[in-house]
Amino acid sequence: MRNPKITFIGAGSTIFVKNILGDVFHKSALKNADIALMDIDATRLEESQIVVSKLMQSANANGVISCYMDQKEALKGADFVVVAFQIGGYEPCTVTDFEVCKRHGLEQTIADTLGPGGIMRSLRTIPHLWQICEDMTEVCPNATMLNYVNPMAMNTWAMYEKYPHIKQVGLCHSVQGTAEELARDLDIDYSELRYTCAGINHMAYYLTFEKKNETGEYKDIYPDLLAAFESGKAPKPSTSHGGRCQNLVRYEMFKKLGYFVTESSEHFSEYTPYFIKPNRPDLIERYSVPLDEYPKRCVEQIAAWKQDLEDFKNAERIDVKDSHEYASTIMNSIWTGTPSVIYGNVKNDGLIDNLPQGCCVEVACLVDANGVQPTKVGKLPSHLAALMQTNVNVQTLLTEAILTENRDRVYHAAMLDPHTAAVLGIEEIYALVDDLIESHGDWLPAWVRK
């Protein structure tokens, strides 16, 4: 039986590649997979090759590594295509998203999913994802795309609308990552948890959240989580990102809504109109909202990478523990037929009744030799669906904008963004979008710039 071929588009994201392939090489059926690395940055591509080569040697893997700057060549014969890139990078595009918005009075934290930052990132990104779909159609039509590129919902939606024949799933680690975080807050073992979750990417909710007791039965531990928050035992102090991200926003929303959301407080604070407001430093302080968080992380990661690279070059071995990413689990299940359950971003084809049919939703999926098979959820609690709908409105209009090349819909998407509308007047929103388009220049499609 031949070995699978795994192609990475955006392989210059070396740390991510290391984590995903570390998981892959832990799977016996995937251990000797052939790896095709593709990136437009020759230096980063070479760095990734060094790391992957040592990783393979450390795992006694015998696959072949090949490197490409030509996307179609890298995709030829692929069984799995992992996509992880950021068009425009930290500089100039992320800097532009933050500086222009700040100039117009709009503060942001992450700006990669919704709001003006997410809208601009999607406009920059979707044409490149479509080109991958085009190339896959020609040279690996049966491959499965594992897409990690944000803004997840808009990107995934645009791909399955234009290329419905491409087998793809949008992947994020917020569902399993948050469950692990809540287990730490409650001082319990993650393996004892059982949960169901559904919604949209970065705004899915744990509909059930349970723990196995001494008799082996499961009980609802949402009351325990609420008690931990009200007593001050949760959330636990942050030890990452300089202690900037305290997770108070999500706990406050949990107290109000009765369900816990999957994405971090720094993300969630800019998906709603409640936490970031002009002339309200009291809200920023009370909820520890880390403004400009993503640029700070970029600077830190760029600085840390230089030392990491030297460590990798000098290391005799590179051993990694299993991560909580789903990619290797999906590959293993499709390749071997061994069933697994993951949470994926897929088309709402009768999955969630009270979200628009056709939008992108995040639900549990069965994976086996038949591929990724989403499971039906039914009706969400109405207040959760209503909050999600405020985000789906933006996703709907931006997806329509790029599918029909309708520039007006870009402005409409920004108008409907909950955070932006809470801060700026309608003329101010139009002026902000004008400025973003002009500042991005050729990074955006021609129809947007006209």
- CATH code, domain carrying 22: 3.40.50.720
Structure token pair of residue 303:
């600085």
pLDDT top residue among 348 and 314? 348
Buried (b) or exposed (e) across 406-437, using 16+ Cβ within 10 A?
ebebbbbbbbbbbbbeebbeeeebeebbebbb
pTM value > 0.95: yes
- Listed range (192-201, 239-248, 289-298, 342-351) with the worst mean pLDDT: 239-248
Flag whether 395 is in a domain. Answer: yes
33-91, pLDDT tens digit by residue? 999 999 999 999 999 999 999 999 999 999 999 999 999 999 999 999 999 999 999 99
Last residue in a domain, options 319, 334, 351: 319
Domain boundary, last residue among 303, 319, 335? 319
Residue that finishes a domain, picked among 295, 319, 343 = 319
Give me the DSSP letters along 170-210. E--SHHHHHHHHHHHHTT--GGGEEEEEEEETTEEEEEEEE
What is the number of domains present in the chain?
2
CA dist., res. 149 & res. 164, Å (int)? 18
pLDDT at 59: 93
Q: Please give the annotated binding residues for Mn(2+), written as ranges.
A: 172, 202
Q: Residue holding tokens 């098979």? A: 373
Which tens digit of pLDDT belongs to each residue from 119-145? 999 999 999 999 999 999 999 999 999
Catalytic residue (choose from 128, 173, 241, 324): 173
Q: What is the pLDDT of residues 141-185, one digit of tens each?
A: 999 999 999 999 999 999 999 999 999 999 999 999 999 999 999
Q: Which residues contact 16 (CB under 8 A, 6 or more apart)?
A: 84, 148
- Locate 97 and state its tokens: 């998203």
Look at residue 211 and tell me whether its pLDDT is greater than 90. Answer: yes
Q: Which residues are annotated as a binding site?
A: 150, 172, 202
Report pLDDT digits (tens) over 236-273. Answer: 988 888 889 999 999 999 999 999 999 999 999 999 99
Average pLDDT, the chain: 96
d(CA 180, CA 196): 14
Q: What is the dihedral of CA 154, 376, 386, 360, to 10 degrees?
A: 0
Q: Which residues pair with 347 in a beta bridge?
A: 360
Mean pLDDT of 303-330: 90
Q: Given this model, what pLDDT does residue 309 score?
A: 87
Asked whether residue 445 is assigned to any structural domain, the reply reads yes
pLDDT above 90 for 307: no
Q: What is the model's pLDDT at position 240? A: 83
List pLDDT tens digits, range 376-401. Answer: 999 999 999 999 999 999 999 999 99
pLDDT, residue 129, reads 98
Assess if residue 280 is contained within a domain. Answer: no
Tell whether the model's pLDDT for residue 320 goes beyond 90: no
Q: 414: which residues sit within 8 A by CB, 6+ positions away?
A: 115, 116, 119, 394, 420, 429, 432, 433
Is 80 exceeded by the pLDDT of residue 1? Answer: no
The answer to whether 173 is a known catalytic residue is: yes
Q: Domain range spanning residue 56? A: 5-170+315-319
Instruction: Quick: pLDDT tens for 88-104.
Output: 999 999 999 999 999 99
Which pLDDT tens digit goes with each residue over 403-419? 999 999 999 999 999 99
Q: Is position 102 within any domain?
A: yes
Quick one: which H or E segment has residue 393?
helix 382-404
Residues in the chain: 450
Is residue 90, in this structure, part of any structural domain at all? yes
What average pLDDT does this structure show over 358-375?
Answer: 98
The answer as to whether 54 is a domain residue is yes
Distance CA 184, CA 369 (A): 34
Residue 41 counted as domain residue: yes
For residue 242, the model assigns a pLDDT of: 84
Question: CA–CA separation, 340 vs 372, rounded Å?
Answer: 10
- Asked whether residue 386 is assigned to any structural domain, the reply reads yes
- Over residues 433-445, the pLDDT tens digits come to 999 999 999 999 9
Model confidence band, residue 366 (pLDDT cutoffs 50, 70, 90): very high
Return d(Cα 372, Cα 169) in angstroms, integer.
Answer: 7
